[in-house]
């Protein structure tokens, strides 16, 4: 028997001998709910080199338009969510492209996109993490390709822990992807020198909004 076949044989027999005990896992007591601390979330995001702005659900677009003018961002990409529609309707917003077709839009997305805007469906306070859902209307590519990623999140969608964030999906279908974002893309693979933007956006900007 070859080494490959020997390994595969052990894996097959091991799997049969000890199947996963899903019932026991489901019966485990969930940890106590953690009260989300927004200041901890902001501190964690900022420690990971994200910029966080406190705003409101009715004010964030005005605040973002001011920042867009200051930074000179002109090439915006959005998905078909409520945040994208709000931004499109804003009087001062630059021209935007709705990302809807990979084949026809991938070249301009990779070559010219400056900023992507989207919504986080949840936030995890203890780790400063944004939970972004992908869908046909909001492909995950938008959170990965443009060099600047702007994310809007409502304060009342922030939970205390990862377990609480995932509990939201216990009785519903998961999206195609759940993207967990805790800062801009970074790596230190080369000579242990920290570099931003190697595998995704080099800048993360978060608008944490109080509901009006």
Q: Look at the block and give the residue holding tokens 């677009």.
A: 61
Helices (H) and strands (E) in the chain, counts: 7, 12
Going by C-beta distance under 8 Å and a sequence separation of 6 or more, which residues neighbour residue 206? 45, 50, 51, 52, 53, 120, 130, 150, 151, 152, 153
pLDDT confidence band for 71 (50 / 70 / 90): very high
The reported pLDDT for the residue numbered 179 is 92
Higher pLDDT, 63 or 192: 63
The reported pLDDT for the residue numbered 197 is 59
Q: What is the three-class DSSP state of 77?
A: strand
Q: What is the three-class DSSP state of 74?
A: coil
Q: Nearest-CA neighbor of 80 among 105, 57, 61, 97?
A: 97
pLDDT confidence band for 172 (50 / 70 / 90): confident
The reported pLDDT for the residue numbered 212 is 86
Q: Per DSSP, what are the bridge partners of residue 209?
A: 55, 154
Phi (first) and psi of residue 70, to 5 degrees:
-60, -40
Q: What is the three-class DSSP state of 5?
A: helix
d(CA 143, CA 119): 10
Instruction: Give the pLDDT confidence of 105-142 residue by residue, as tens digits.
Output: 999 999 999 999 999 999 999 999 999 999 888 988 99
Phi (first) and psi of residue 55, to 5 degrees:
-150, -160
Average confidence (pLDDT) over 136-159: 93
Instruction: Please provide the average confidence, as pLDDT, over all residues in the chain.
Output: 84
pTM above threshold 0.85: no
Instruction: Give the pLDDT confidence of 2-59 residue by residue, as tens digits.
Output: 777 777 676 666 544 444 443 443 334 455 567 899 999 999 999 999 999 999 999 9
Q: What is the three-class DSSP state of 96?
A: strand
- Chain CA centroid to CA 36, Å: 18
């Amino acid at each position: 028997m070859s080494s490959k076949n020997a390994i595969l044989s052990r894996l097959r027999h091991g799997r049969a001998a000890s199947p996963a005990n899903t019932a026991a896992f489901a019966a485990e007591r969930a940890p106590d709910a953690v009260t989300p601390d927004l200041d901890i979330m902001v501190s964690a995001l900022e420690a990971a080199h994200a910029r966080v702005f406190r705003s409101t659900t009715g004010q964030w677009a005005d605040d973002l338009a001011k920042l867009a003018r200051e930074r000179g961002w002109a090439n915006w990409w959005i998905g078909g969510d409520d945040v994208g529609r709000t931004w499109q309707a804003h009087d001062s917003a630059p021209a935007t492209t709705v990302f809807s077709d990979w084949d026809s839009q991938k070249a301009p997305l990779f070559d010219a996109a400056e900023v992507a805007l989207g919504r986080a469906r949840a936030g995890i306070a203890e780790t400063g993490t944004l939970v972004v859902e992908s869908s046909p209307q909001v492909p995950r590519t938008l959170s990965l390709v443009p060099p600047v990623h702007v994310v809007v999140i409502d304060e009342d969608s922030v939970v205390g822990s990862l377990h609480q964030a995932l509990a939201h999906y216990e009785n519903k279908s998961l999206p195609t992807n759940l993207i967990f974002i805790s800062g801009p893309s970074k790596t230190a693979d080369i000579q242990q020198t920290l570099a931003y933007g190697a595998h995704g956006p080099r800048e993360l900007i978060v608008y944490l909004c109080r509901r009006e």
